[in-house]
Structures are given as C-alpha cells and as structure tokens.
Amino acid sequence: MSGELVNMGELVEHVSDTSSYHLPQFLGHFDLPAIGGLTLTKGMVVEVFAAVMMAALFIPLAVKMASGKPVRGRFWNLLEVFLTYLRNEVIIPSIGKKEADRFTPFLWSLFFFVLFCNLAGLLPWFGSSPTGSLATTAVLAVSVFVVLLFAGMKKFGVVGFWLGQVPKVDLPFMLSVTLKPMLFVIEVIGLFIKHVVLAIRLLANMFAGHLVIAVIMGFIPALAAGSVFLWGGVTVVSVLVCVCLYMLEIFVAFLQAYIFVFLASIYIGMAQHQH
Amino acid sequence: MYFKGFKTKVNFCNRKRVAMACAFAALFYLVESTVLWAAEEAAEGAAQAKLDPLAWKSDLALWTAVVFLLVLFVLGKFAFGPIVKALDQREKNEIDRLESVERANADAKALLEEYRHKLSDSEAEVRQIILDAQKDAAKQAEAIVADAKKAAADEKERALKDIQNASDSALQELAVKSADIATELAGKILKERIDASKHSQLIEEAVQKITQK
C-alpha cells in the first residue's frame, strides 16, 4: 500500500505547480532554473507561453484587420469570431455600447490569457495550469477589481462611486439613516466577495479537473502490484475515462475563461451604471 | 385483458431488462466504490505531495502580475487596441455602405418614377402630335381643294370672259364688215345722190344699229 501511495503522490504532484518537468522515465526530470531569488515553475513558463501565443496570434490578426477589409482564411476568421462574439455578445451588453470599447482590450486579454493558461495545463508533460493556483487567479481578479475601481471613480468621482454602492431606496429619514450605512457596508463587502469568488471559481474548476484526471490515471500504477487482469481492465477503463474527461476539461477551459470574462464584464458594467 | 397483455410483454422482455439492470447496478457500484477509493487516494496523495490549491505563492503572483501587465500593454498597443479600431472602422464602413446603398436605391426609384412620368408624358405628346398632324393634314387638304376650286372657277371665269370678248370683237368685226358691205352696196345704189359727209353719218348710224342688236 505504501508503494501505491508513493506513486499516487508523485502522480498528483504532476498537476501541481512544480519547478521540474516530469518527462517520460527514460528522459528523466528537467529542472527549471532559478533567476535571482525567483525559482521558475511550470506555471510561470505556461504564462509566458500564453503571452507569446497571444502575441503570435493577435498581432498578425491586427495587421490583417487594419486594412478595414474582412480577413481571409478559416483560422483568422475563427480568431475574429472569438473576438467579435465576446465584444458583441458579452462586453457591449454588459457595459454598454458607449463605454465598452475602453474595456474591450483588457477583457479580451483576460479571456485569452485565462484560456491559454487553462489549455496549456492540459499539454502532456508541459502543462500545469497556473489558473489552478490561487496566486494567478487572485492577481487576475484583482486586476478586474482595480480596473473597475478606477473606471468607476473616474466616472462618478471617488465619493460618488462609493456612495453609489448603496442602492437608491425611498425610505423615511430615520430608517434611511440606520439602514443605508448598513447597506453600504454589505454592498462594499459584497463587492470584495464577488472578486474573491471570481478567483476561487476559476481556481477550483481548473484544479479539480486536473486532479480528477490525475487520480483516475493513478489507478493504473496503484493496481500494478495486483492481479494482471484487474490491472489490465482498470488500465483500459482509466484511459477511456481520462480521454472523455480530457475532452470535458477542454470544454471547461473555454467555459471557465468565458465565465471569468462574462462576470468581469458584468462587474465593470455595474460599476459604470450604478443602481 | 390489458394487464394480461402487459404482463406478457413484460415477461417477453424481462430477461433483457433484468440483465441490463444488473449490469447497471454493478457498474454503478463499481464506479461509486472506485470514485470513493480514488477520492481517498487523491486526498492522501495530495497531502503527500503537499498540494494545496489555496496556498499563496508570492513568486507566481508577482510573475503573473508582470506577465499580465506586459500582455495588456503589448497587445493593447499592437493587437487588441488596433483590432477595436478596425472593428469600429469596419462597422462605420458597413453603415456608410448601407446608407449609400439605401440612398442609391431611393435615387434609382425616384429616377424610375421620373422616367415613367416622362414616358407617359411623351406618349401623350406623341398622341397630340399625331392628332395635330392629322388636323393639319385635313386643313391642308381642305385648303388645297378650296384653292383648286377657286383656281378652276377663276379659270372658268377667265375663259368665259375671253369667249365674251372674242364674241364681242367678232360681232364688232362682223358689224363693221357688214356695214362696209352695206355701205358699199348702198353706195353703189345711191351713188351720186349722197355726198361724203352724209355718207359717213349713214355709216355710223348703221354701225350703232348693228352693235345694239
């Protein structure tokens, strides 16, 4: 049993953000270097990979679109469909036509950064989704919060923005004096909690998905010491289930990126149009 | 009867259904126990690998912040910013194109209406021209006939006058000749009794008498 647990622990370690790549056994492990006091991890490499991929895809697309004519080619059209869908169906309805374009580049960056980080985590040996770590999702949620705060305060002024958090309700003076400060506190706490949940939701989904795949693959080494027939059967079933879960994970990668940006758009929209 | 039939049908499929239900139950039990076992194993494995998704990693947070800010800056400047502008421009172009197409359509309709009017006007004009031409032709024909009639009448009158003149001059000539002959005859008869002045007086009287007749 202890041997099995060592296998399981090592396997689970594959989905965590470590500083070494666990390549197939004959290739051994590849340790990432440390830059100054900073030890590089797989997640950091994935983030750089995501950034480079985004630049490699969208800068040429921008050049192609600059002429004002529709882009040609299935691939470029596919990319454009992502962008226009997010802009027309998510960002503009949430924020409003007038203000939407100020936030569109930020929300596009957010979507593709999260998406590529999610997807890169599924690449064998290479991947470890940085979005399965609180540090990454928290930074992204904080970036949404900062954008929302600055944009809201720019539009309504510092005092106007914070006072606007209290919903406008017609109350008698005495009730208003007591209830409104309470409402203010609840709304401000709600504002923070929304962003914390934004970070946790993405983190939990990505972490859980990878862990489930790791565990189901873990059945194979766990049963290696037992009967050959049981091991063979479990291996086949585990691989098949993992293939299905992998497909589900690809879907979840898109879905969570979409949900993250969808909620971020709604929060920014709410800060731009106070109740 | 219904119950009987139903029972027969159930009996007919019973073996298959029972087998399937058993298979599902076994599969469910297998999956459930496997998942529970997997969860235990995962928890142990995660604990062993010190895997805590909520663990705060400052290095990764700082790295993420830097990379994401770079992404925002670089892509905002070279990709997403220009793409937003391009989409706006494309939208504007589309709207302009649609408006110009609508304008062209309206112009074409107006032009069509104008040409239809012109066409109906010209048809009326052509009809009027034909009517006028017919009227003119009729008038001209009447004038020609009237002229012809007048010319014929004039000709006839002139001919009658000529005939009258010829008749008068013939009569006068005849009278003169008759008078001459009569005078000559009377002279011959009255030779010697009438002098020259009496002679010419007699001639004139004779001529007048003849012309009066």
- Break chain B into its structural domains and give their ranges: 1-32
Q: Could you report the per-residue pLDDT of A99-143, keeping only the tens digit for each? A: 898 999 999 999 999 999 999 888 887 767 888 888 899 999 999
**Residue A4 pLDDT more than 50?**
no
Q: How many helices (H) and strands (E) does chain A have?
A: 9, 4
B53 with A203: Cβ contact below 8 A: yes
| Residues A153/A263, Cβ–Cβ less than 8 Å | no
Q: Which of A92, A95, A134 to mutate to test the interface with B (most CBs of B within 10 A)?
A: A134
pLDDT for residue B98:
93
Q: Say how many CB pairs under 8 Å bridge A and B.
A: 168
Kindly report the nearest CA distance between residue A252 and chain B, in angstroms: 18
User: Out of B49, B64, B86, whose CB is closest to A130?
Assistant: B64
Separation CA A5–CA A218 (nearest Å): 10
Q: How many helices (H) and strands (E) does chain B have?
A: 4, 0
Q: Could you report the per-residue pLDDT of B184-211, keeping only the tens digit for each? A: 777 777 765 666 777 788 778 877 877 7
Listed range (A90-104, A164-178, A243-257) with the worst mean pLDDT: A164-178
Q: Could you report the per-residue pLDDT of A67-103, keeping only the tens digit for each? A: 777 888 999 999 999 999 999 999 999 999 888 989 9
pLDDT for residue A3:
44
B87 with A134: Cβ contact below 8 A: no
Q: Could you report the per-residue pLDDT of A39-71, keeping only the tens digit for each? A: 788 888 899 999 999 999 999 999 998 877 788
User: Out of A38, A51, A70, whose CB is closest to B67?
Assistant: A51
Only one residue has tokens 């923070």, namely A192
Only one residue has tokens 């970036």, namely A143
**Residue A267 pLDDT more than 50?**
yes
Cite the beta strand spans of chain A per DSSP E: 20-22, 29-31, 34-35, 38-39
Query: For chain A, what is the mean pLDDT?
Result: 86
- Which one-letter DSSP state was computed for residue A15? T
A196: contact with B, CB 8 A cutoff: no
Separation CA A271–CA A102 (nearest Å): 14
User: Out of B38, B54, B89, whose CB is closest to A216?
Assistant: B38
pLDDT for residue A76:
93
**Under-70 pLDDT residues of chain B:** 1-13, 31, 34-35, 38-39, 41-51, 191-195, 213
Helix, strand, coil percent content, chain B, rounded in steps of 5: 90, 0, 10
